[in-house]
Amino acid sequence: MRDPNRITETLKHLERIWKENPDYRLGQLIVIATKPKEPCPAVFYKEDDEMLDGLLNFEKRIKEK
């Protein structure tokens, strides 16, 4: 199992960086940080409200299992 402590550390830095750059969308930050070899327009241009909906839907599906 992956170390669950990594989540708090990652989210702490994500929150700080995002607050310093509030005009970026979450997907933009993730794509910029990971520097994928292939473009990821589906993630890069995803609006934050759509990302949140996706996260909440994921949570709902996991809880239904």
Cβ partners under 8 Å of residue 43, min gap 6: 27, 30, 31
- State how far the Cα of 26 lies from the Cα of 32, in Å rounded to an integer: 10
Q: Report percent pLDDT > 90 for the chain.
A: 98
What does pTM read for this prediction?
A: 0.86
Sign of CA dihedral 29, 30, 34, 40: negative
Q: Could you tell me which residues come within 8 angstroms of residue 52 by beta carbon, excluding any fewer than 6 positions away?
A: none
Given pLDDT bands bounded at 50, 70 and 90, which one contains residue 65? confident
What pLDDT is attached to residue 4? 94
